Amino acid sequence: MADPLTPGIVPGRMPGDEIAENFADLHKPLDPHEAAVAADRCYFCYDAPCVTACPTEIDIPLFIRQIATGQAEAAGRTIFDQNILGGMCARVCPTEDLCEGACVREIAEGKPVEIGRLQRHATDALMARQSHPYSRAPETGKRVAVVGAGPAGLACAHRLAMKGHSVTIFEAKEKPGGLNEFGIAAYKSTDDFAQKEVAWLVQIGGISMEYGKALGRDLSLDGLAAEHDAVFLGVGLADVNALDVDGADRGGVDAAVDFIAELRQSPDLSSLPVGRNVVVIGGGMTAIDAGVQAKLLGAENVTIAYRRGKDRMGASRYEQDLATSRGVRIVCNAQPKAIHGNGAAAEIELEYTADDGSGLKGTGETLRLPADQVFRAIGQTLVPVDGLEMDGRKISVSATGRTSKAGIWAGGDCTPGEDLTVVAVAEGRDAAEDIHAELMGVAATATGARLGEAARGAAAE
């Protein structure tokens, strides 16, 4: 039944079986034969550009060689040594811009080695084992608070637990995972994988979780610091930028992240309301995920409107092509001017833009599109954290995640840098290494490299 305030937004625009098919796994897992064939395409470059392009510096030639020789579980260990959330990253990383984009095969032939799918093959193989592949060092007696159970917090917690520290993760929501659970398109992470990955990760022991605990509401930074030997903030970006145009408060105008989160938590996608004519404002991954999923739910017309040129979109070319292949229209150099309607949104007015060298400006030329549902995907912002130095609108940190306050580290989307799962994992991992060095009074080593080097040494013996 339609909401009287938003009559154009209704559930059941498509039969349930069609919706289920639409939201099936975007990339099917490779079977052993397919994995062997894909691995055989790798040149195993000595100075591999794919490794340089990976924020977590996974030894990609090594794990692909392990797959090629029938050692999928060993390949999984090589990946997890550097990236404990390698399973999710295999599903959601923009590999076309990272490892696969740097692949020699891509440069020479336009068809890279399928590194992402091979990574999934390896990590799935190891995660299917009964026992967790890592064990804890002897207890150190040190207690660390991690705020946020997203990729950065989970990566930090696992590495700290492995070092023998006791970790408590405080999470504002009632479920862990962060953006992996609430902010990624459902067809990229099927079969409740985000929760299965967390359950697998915490098998190492030494990690406890407390839910419904938000920094600034239920927790104070000073209180956490007083009760723990160190604190890591992986709080993400909780606030959504407002759409500053006339009619932005009309019914049917919502944040794209809220739509994606609701979709990810829905037990029955056929019951999820969606508009007939959907317009998404923005040009990043969130805009693409919202637009594609609206189309897959049965919206007749979906348009993504971005104020700059297509080459400036935050979403990768692959994601742009995915959207258009699903019937999503992308309109570039167009910014919202007003949302019209009688209470609820019925139409959006866009103004074309141009950059004359002095900045982006409206041209005065407009177009109107039917729009009973409008999603704003124009960026998220950090809920301010008192007492910490800021770098613009994010927490200022050193290369190893140290903030301006002693004993406090931070990483992930709340700090400067690319807002990617794989980057968050790298930052959480590296902060954990630095926290351990500080707590134990030992010299810091090259962050992220220690486990990988140990694994290669063991393999050589």
Q: Which of 55-64, 105-114, 377-386 has the lowest mean pLDDT?
A: 377-386
pLDDT of residue 2: 57
DSSP state at residue 114: -
Rounded to whole angstroms, how far apart are CA atoms 289 and 263?
11
pLDDT at 287 over 90: yes
Could you read off the pLDDT of 148-193 as tens digits, one per residue?
999 999 999 999 999 999 999 999 999 999 999 999 999 999 999 9
Mean pLDDT score of the chain: 94
Q: Which residue segments constitute the domains of the chain, with CATH numbers given? A: 9-23+251-376 (3.50.50.60), 32-127 (1.10.1060.10), 143-238+382-460 (3.50.50.60)
User: Is the dihedral angle over the CA atoms 183, 184, 185, 190 positive or is it negative?
Assistant: negative
Let me know: does 386 contact 402? Beta carbons within 8 Å: no
Could you read off the pLDDT of 218-251 as tens digits, one per residue?
999 999 999 999 999 999 998 899 999 999 999 9
pTM of the entire structure?
A: 0.94
pLDDT at 456 over 60: no
pLDDT of residue 458: 30
- Expressed in angstroms, the distance from the first to the final Cα of the chain is 66
SS3 78: helix
Going from the C-alpha of 287 to that of each of 3, 128, 281, 297, the distances in angstroms are 24, 33, 7, 15
pLDDT at 427 over 80: yes
* Residue among 158, 34, 23, 27 at smallest CA distance from 84: 158
Express as a percent the part of the chain with pLDDT over 70.
95
* Residue among 347, 357, 353 at smallest CA distance from 366: 353
pLDDT of residue 384: 86
pLDDT of residue 446: 56
Could you read off the pLDDT of 187-199 as tens digits, one per residue?
999 999 999 999 9
- H/E/C letters for each residue in 157-188? HHHHHHCCCEEEEEECCCCCCCHHHHCCCCCC
